Amino acid sequence: MTMQSKNSPAPILEVRGCTISLQGERVLNDLSFSVAEGEFLSVLGPSGCGKTTLLRFIAGLQPADSGQLLKYGQDITPAPPDRRGVGIVFQNYALFENMTALKNVAYALRFHKETKGHETELARELLCRVGLENELNKLPSQLSGGQQQRVAIARTLVLSPDIILFDEPMAALDAETRLLMQDEIKRLQREFSATILYVTHDQEEAFAMSDRIMVMGPEGLHQLDTPDALISRPADDYVRRFVGDNLRRRAANLSRCVAGGQL
């Protein structure tokens, strides 16, 4: 695993020795890593390796058997979800089906005293910034998958979180929309100077978007490194097979499609 250098940004988030068991089965085992402020860190791995459980722990939705969560060096392990400064965008977007896009975002501000009375104004501003100025009064069922995702992102951003967690946000989108939303999420990260922890099982997605990638498997964390280092210096055979061989196989398939005039 790559360690932070002396010149690296200070970590905004540190997970120390996190162990979690669900229904008697160990899901995470003594997991430790840190995320630098402003970093886009992807968590890459197959289904069942604990990616979503890790996000739920960071968001305060899943207690750990042991371990700590530090933010700016302060232990926030016992803090409730609404006191962590962490936002989460779920895989299914978790929008209220009976509320318009505007009301879905405004609802997120309902219980915050500092924004009381300005919910609609702030929600409208965020929705415009994610390109939904013409969709404010539409219900989720009237929006495309990409538009629903933008509403979910706006609902998270409106709370000004220090860290944004994404749980497989592209899973339900078609290939073209996925590419568009990758660019959109990166644009929003730059615009809001956001720190992002992004869970995915898609290697291409992780490599296209990330500053660093954490490769997880059934036995836990295998390597946390830059995309280039994962390809050129895989830590073990699992990383070599799961990441390197798979990407090379996809590249070869793409080359054959281009040569055959299928693209």
231: containing domain: 8-77+194-263
- What confidence category does residue 6 fall into, taking pLDDT thresholds of 50, 70 and 90? very low
Question: What integer pLDDT is reported at residue 245 of this predicted model?
Answer: 67
HSE, side-chain direction, 13 A CA sphere, residue 29: 12
What digits encode the pLDDT tens for the residues 199-221?
998 888 999 999 999 999 988 99
CA separation for the pair 162, 72 (Å, rounded)? 10
pLDDT at 2 over 70: no
- Of residues 242 and 72, the one with the higher pLDDT is 72
In a domain, residue 175? The reply is no
Contact 9, 38 (CB under 8 A): yes
- What confidence category does residue 8 fall into, taking pLDDT thresholds of 50, 70 and 90? low
What digits encode the pLDDT tens for the residues 32-48?
999 999 999 999 998 88
In a domain, residue 255? The reply is yes
- Of residues 147 and 108, the one with the higher pLDDT is 147
pLDDT at 4 over 90: no
In a domain, residue 110? The reply is no
Query: What's the whole-model pTM score?
Result: 0.87
In a domain, residue 49? The reply is yes
CA separation for the pair 197, 88 (Å, rounded)? 9
In a domain, residue 93? The reply is no
Mean pLDDT, to the nearest integer, of 147-168?
94
In a domain, residue 20? The reply is yes
Identity of the residue numbered 130: V
In a domain, residue 242? The reply is yes
Residue ranges of E strands in 131-234: 163-167, 195-200, 212-217, 220-225
**What is the total count of domains within the chain?**
1
Residue 57, token pair as written in the block: 């722990």
Average pLDDT along the chain:
89
Q: Which residues lie below 8 Å from residue 46, measured CB to CB, with a gap of 6+?
A: 201, 217, 218, 242
Q: What is the CATH number of the domain that holds 19?
A: 3.40.50.300
Least confident of 57-66, 111-120, 186-195, 252-261: 252-261
Question: What integer pLDDT is reported at residue 254 of this predicted model?
Answer: 45
pLDDT at 253 over 90: no
Identity of the residue numbered 133: E
pLDDT at 198 over 50: yes
In a domain, residue 262? The reply is yes
- What confidence category does residue 3 fall into, taking pLDDT thresholds of 50, 70 and 90? very low
Q: What angle is formed at CA 114 by the lines to CA 111 and CA 118, rounded to 5 degrees? A: 80
Question: What integer pLDDT is reported at residue 9 of this predicted model?
Answer: 59
What digits encode the pLDDT tens for the residues 78-132?
999 999 999 999 888 889 999 999 999 999 898 787 777 889 999 999 999 999 9
Question: What integer pLDDT is reported at residue 189 of this predicted model?
Answer: 93
Residue ranges of E strands in 93-231: 163-167, 195-200, 212-217, 220-225
CA separation for the pair 95, 92 (Å, rounded)? 8
Question: What integer pLDDT is reported at residue 28 of this predicted model?
Answer: 97
CA separation for the pair 58, 77 (Å, rounded)? 8
